[in-house]
Amino acid sequence: MSDERRPHPKNAPGPFYVANGCCMQCMAPHAVAPSLMGFDDPDRHCFVKQQPQTDEDVYQAIRAVRSSEMQCLRYSGNDPDILRRLVEIGEAEACDNPSPTTSEPILRNHVTFVSILPHEVLDVALAFRYYILDQNSKFERYEVTQPKHEGNGVTFAFSWYEDRYYTISVERREPATSRWLVKHSPIWEVGSVAVSLMIDDWLSNDPRFSDFRWFSSEVWDRAGDDWQRRPY
């Protein structure tokens, strides 16, 4: 391992690590993986205080890698599933070892889920809209349009960067099982990845929703069954 990729001395032994001397003090990884990340005050340097132990921990670690500036948070392991997921989220360069598969960045932008309540489609759209507005702070500012009925569903758009708006569509898929569909951007880009992650945060933190199934546009359009529980 080259000197620029040596873990910080306080890094917990394991494959996820912060490269020593690379920390930008952005604290972004701490926001998405607080149970995994630590900060050395005297050294003004972050580090991985605990390696992932559960599936949820791994998901947080992958998101933390994505949020890290300058790819200071890295993965040195050989787990093919983790390597695949890091490549799919656009973080191939943060992996010390190449992916053993032909993985490439992929956008899972269709998610179906079950609700325990007999919502109207507008109720579900408003629930996500309110969630987005609740994320406003002195550090982030979201602009959200009013929802409107369109075809069999409801759409609205939101933005957190200048005038780049992302359109969200909500519709009922299977009335008998209360399954719903939320979808957004048609192409992979950094912003559209963030939209999928925000939708996942909303669904995962609302006890009314369960049984999440994420699809890419390609799989969805051909009615394939290649889905996973989280977008990455």
pLDDT digits 0-9 by tens, 44-53: 999 999 999 9
Its pTM stands at 0.91
Q: Considering the domain boundaries, does residue 194 fall inside one?
A: yes
Domain boundary among the residues 70, 94, 118 is at 94
In terms of domains, do 150 and 189 share one? yes
- Predicted confidence (pLDDT) per residue in 166-184, tens digit: 999 999 987 677 899 999 9
Q: Measured between alpha carbons, how far is 50 from 36 in angstroms, rounded to an integer?
A: 5
In the prediction, which pLDDT does 1 show? 43
In terms of C-beta density within 10 A (0-12 exposed, 13-18 middle, 19 or more buried), how is residue 179 classed? middle
Q: Considering the domain boundaries, does residue 227 fall inside one?
A: no
Which structural domain range is residue 196 located in? 108-221
Q: Considering the domain boundaries, does residue 153 fall inside one?
A: yes
Domain boundary among the residues 94, 125, 156 is at 94
In terms of domains, do 123 and 214 share one? yes
